[in-house]
Structure 1
Amino acid sequence: MAQSKPEKINVLFVCMGNICRSPTADAVFRHHVRNAGLEQLIHIDSAGTHAYHIGHPPDRRSQQAALKRGYSMQGLRARKVEQEDFTLFHYILAMDRYNLELLQQECPPQHAGRLSLFLQYSSHWHTHQEVPDPYYGGSHGFERVLDLVESASQGLLQHLINTQQLAGKKYR
C-alpha cells in the first residue's frame, strides 16, 4: 500500500507593500526551511495588504541587508493579498497590528484562526510584537527587521516541526 504524500504547510508573510518586511521574512524563513531539509513540506510566499508595488522586486535596501547575512530575495515580486490566500495558506502572518486588522476585515470567519502576528514566534515577543517598517528610515532599520525576522523564523520553524511532526535535520 502506497503512503500518501503529506500536504504542504503553506505560510504567507504579509506587510503593507510587500517590498520590505514580508519579502525579508519570506527569504529568511525559506533559508531556514531549506537548511532544515523541509522545502518539500513547507510552501512559503509573501504579499501586501496594499497594491502599491505589484510586480516590483523587494526594496534595494532590504535586498542588500539580507544579502549581507546570506539571504537571497532573487525572484521575489510584490503582490497583493488575494481572497484565495485565506483558503490556501495555513499560516498568514502579519508584520504589524495594522496589517493584521486589515487581514481580519477581509478574512472569511472560518479561516480567522490562520491569522496572527509573525513575532508571536520570536524569543523577543515580550519586548517586540511588531516588525517595524524600515522604509522611511536608515540602514539600521533594515538590520533591526532582519534581527526580529531571524528570531521569529527560527521560532516558527520549531513550532511547525513540533506541531506538525516534521523531521527537520537540525531542529529535532
Structure 2
Amino acid sequence: MLKVLFVCLGNICRSPMAEAIFRDLIKKEGLSDHISVDSAGIGHWHVGTDPHEGTRAILEQNKISFEGMLARQVESSDWDRFDYIIAMDQKNLQDLQAIRKKNGVTVKMLMDYASNPDETDVPDPYFTGNFDQVYQLVMEGCIGLLNEIKQNHKFKEEL
C-alpha cells in the first residue's frame, strides 16, 4: 500500500484538511485499498485535539468527512512508514529536511503538485482566517498529487 503524510505546523488546519480531501478523492477513485493517508504537525502544541473549527466548517460545507482525526506530531518512524511526505509551506519543508531520517521518501510541498499555482506555500488559516482560499489551494494540490501518483504507480484491480 502506498502511504501519504501531509504536514503543517500544528496539524489542526492545513494538513488535516489535506488528509480529509485526499482521503475523499482516493475513495471516489476507488483507490482506498491502494493508498492510505495521514497528517501530522511539526509542533506538539495541539496533539490529541480535533481539527480547527474553520477546517471542520469548510470540510462539512463540502461534504468531506474528518471523522476520527486527531492532531499528532511528526515522528521519526514516519520516515519508514510513508512513501510521500507533503509539506504545506517552505518552513515546514525545511523543518522536515532538518529531521529527515532517510532517503527514498518523496518530500515535497503540496503546491508543487498544483497546475499553475498562484502561491508556492499554502497560507496558514490559523493566522489568516482564510479557510476558503486554503481549501481551494489544498484541493488543487491534492488533485495534482493524486494524478501524479496514479501516473507513477499502477494499481491492479482486485480480483
* TM-score (structure 1 length as normaliser): 0.87
What secondary structure, in the 3-state scheme, does the structure 2 residue paired with 1:28 have? helix
Q: Which amino acid aligns with 1:157?
A: L
| Partner in structure 2 of residue 136 of structure 1 | 127
Note if 1:115 corresponds to 2:107. Answer: yes
| Partner in structure 1 of residue 154 of structure 2 | 165
Per-residue deviation at 1:95? Answer: 0.1
- Once the two structures are superposed, what CA deviation does each residue of 1:46-102 show, in whole Å capped at 9, x if it has no partner? 000000100000001110011111112121000000000011100000000101101
Greater Rg over alpha carbons, structure: 1
Aligned counterpart in structure 2 of residue 152 of structure 1, from 111, 127, 141 = 141
Q: Which amino acid aligns with 2:84?
A: Y
- Determine if contact 2:79/2:102 at 8 Å carries over to the other structure: no
What secondary structure, in the 3-state scheme, does the structure 1 residue paired with 2:31 have? coil
- Once the two structures are superposed, what CA deviation does each residue of 1:115-165 show, in whole Å capped at 9, x if it has no partner? 11011111233x211100001233xx1011110111111111111111002
- Determine if contact 2:16/2:69 at 8 Å carries over to the other structure: yes
What secondary structure, in the 3-state scheme, does the structure 1 residue paired with 2:127 have? coil
Pairs within 5 Å for 1:67-106: 67-106=60-99
Q: Which amino acid aligns with 1:137?
A: T
How many residue pairs get matched? 157
Q: Which amino acid aligns with 2:114?
A: S
Distance 2:111 2:88 in 1: 7
Pairs within 5 Å for 1:26-105: 26-105=19-98
Q: Which runs of 5+ in 2 are unaligned?
A: none
Q: Which amino acid aligns with 2:108?
A: S
* TM-score (structure 2 length as normaliser): 0.94
Distance 2:106 2:147 in 1: 17
- Determine if contact 1:161/1:167 at 8 Å carries over to the other structure: no
- Determine if contact 1:22/1:47 at 8 Å carries over to the other structure: yes
> Identity of aligned pairs, percent?
37
Task: Please provide the CA RMSD for this pair.
Answer: 1.4
Distance 1:167 1:36 in 2: 13
Per-residue deviation at 1:114? Answer: 1.9
- Determine if contact 2:5/2:85 at 8 Å carries over to the other structure: yes
Per-residue deviation at 1:167? Answer: 6.1
